[in-house]
Amino acid sequence: MPEQRQTGLRIWLGGKPLERLGDWVLQLEVEERSDEASTFRMTVDMSPIEAEETGDWDVIENGVFAELYAVPQLYLLQRVTIEFNLTAEQDAEPEIAATVFDGYVTAVEPVFGEARVPDSKLVLSGIDASCLMHFETVTKDWHGKTDAEIAKEIFGKYGFAFDSVTVEDTTPNRDFSRASMIQRGTDAEFLRMLARRNGFEVYVEPAGGEVEPGAHPGTTVKAYFRSPRLDEPKVQPELTLFPRDAPTLIEFRARWESHQPTRIRGWQIEETTRKIQRTDIEEPGYERLGEYGRAQILDKRLGEIFGKGTRPEPADIQSMDVPHDDLDLTHLARADYRQADWFVVGTGTVRSELYPEIVRSRRPIKLKGAGHLLDGRWYMLAVRHRWGVDIDQPEEEPVIRRYEPDVTMVRNALGGVG
């Protein structure tokens, strides 16, 4: 049986550790996704001191920030850093830890319960540091740069770290005499559009290490603009469905379906020669996580169904949006193919006290115990980290704190060990 550990939580406000955790944080959810910004939602106890006499709801006005700031900050755009960890014993130093969120409070919601005390709560919601790129609408003509070079310039503008591993090179370099890329939107919206054109993920996440104090996370937040790393050498430890009495994956559900294209055909009219350019994409440009993709299965089944008759081909024909050249046309078609190519989607809940790491999104992981069709390497599309205090416990009983990650995993093929 895997070693069972205690799960822990640490929070920093403005880069300073929050000492008042205890039972003050009633619920906390952090959602990491590969296709969107990471978000958090934290519910804290808002019960005031001497509310009947003063009506002073001090948690709203000052709360935990009273010790950190000279004047009330009203929570908005306060920097929040969140870590989940695993320890061998209660209150011991964490053996395993992962900082899963570094961002800002973007919404505040006080909830006054019927009994006022103790059922009044304050709900704080926020978005990772990429929300800084979502304030200003920019109109700009980008030329003489690749999409990757544009991404680097925008990431640098906000002080985020990046390197050749986190920002993948792209082509073409758009010559101003022929074409340019016009931005009309926020930097976050523009980067997401560039990522879709290339079939990339774009996100920011904590780089690990010490949490730097201050209102801005600086280079402790790393920016990514790249293809999904299905072939990453470092794979997260196996999620196991057995032994039945102590699995690391409490429950698991998988689904695959037929009606998605297995081929993308792109075309455009070349602006100077007025000739039609075509491309045909049947592979995503990265490895298959198994032996049998949707294309192989549909090809066999449709052949059996239609026999010698004319059978439909599961293909999608795209008129591409202003490609710069033949290579750009191929990239656009491959980006559309990647969106449709995830064949299997799996969802489940991890038993965190038995799993040897904090499970993370945007990384490969292995599954064991689901049979030869589903065992093997998957890609972690999203993780929803859930933390909560059991408020229904009798007062004389120790407070129970629960941490469970819900996971969404994807695969582009069935069978075999990826």
251 assigned to some structural domain: yes
- Angstrom distance (rounded) from CA 99 to CA 375: 28
Taking the whole predicted model, whether its pTM rises above 0.95 is answered as no
The number of CA neighbours under 13 Å toward the Cβ of 213 is 4
**Token pair for 228:** 């999904």
pLDDT at position 70, please?
Answer: 43
Same domain for 238 and 221: no
Question: How far is residue 44 CA from its own chain's centroid?
Answer: 24
Same domain for 299 and 352: no
- CA dihedral angle for residue 30, residue 18, residue 103, residue 400, rounded to 10 degrees: 0
Helix axes 187-198, 326-341, angle to 10 degrees: 90
Contact 192, 134 (CB under 8 A): no
pLDDT at position 1, please?
Answer: 53
Q: Work out the mean pLDDT of the chain and round it to a whole number.
A: 88
pLDDT at position 307, please?
Answer: 83
Same domain for 180 and 304: no
Which of 1-10, 122-131, 273-282 has maximum average pLDDT? 122-131
* Helices and strands counted in the chain (H then E): 6, 20
Give the rounded percent of residues in the chain with a pLDDT score beyond 70. 87
21 assigned to some structural domain: yes
Per residue in 215-228, pLDDT (tens digit) is: 999 999 999 999 99
205 is in which domain, residue-wise? 135-226
238 assigned to some structural domain: yes
Strands 376-389 and 181-186 come out as unpaired
Per residue in 103-120, pLDDT (tens digit) is: 999 999 999 888 887 788
Same domain for 196 and 285: no
The yes-or-no verdict on residue 15 having pLDDT over 90 is yes
Per residue in 365-416, pLDDT (tens digit) is: 999 999 999 999 999 999 999 999 765 555 555 556 789 999 999 999 999 6
- Measured CA to CA in angstroms, residue 338 lies from 95, 148, 184, 267, 348 at distances of 38, 19, 26, 17, 23
Calculate mean pLDDT across residues 10-28.
Answer: 85
Q: What CATH number is associated with residue 171? A: 3.55.50
Q: What CATH number is associated with residue 70? A: 2.30.300.10
Question: Domain end: 282, 314, 341, which one?
Answer: 341
Same domain for 303 and 379: no
H/E element, 80: strand 79-87
- Angstrom distance (rounded) from CA 329 to CA 134: 29
Calculate mean pLDDT across residues 299-307.
Answer: 91
The yes-or-no verdict on residue 194 having pLDDT over 80 is yes
Question: Domain end: 315, 341, 367, which one?
Answer: 341
Same domain for 103 and 70: yes
Same domain for 33 and 92: yes
Task: Please give the tally of structural domains in the chain.
Answer: 3
150 assigned to some structural domain: yes
Give the rounded percent of residues in the chain with a pLDDT score beyond 90. 65
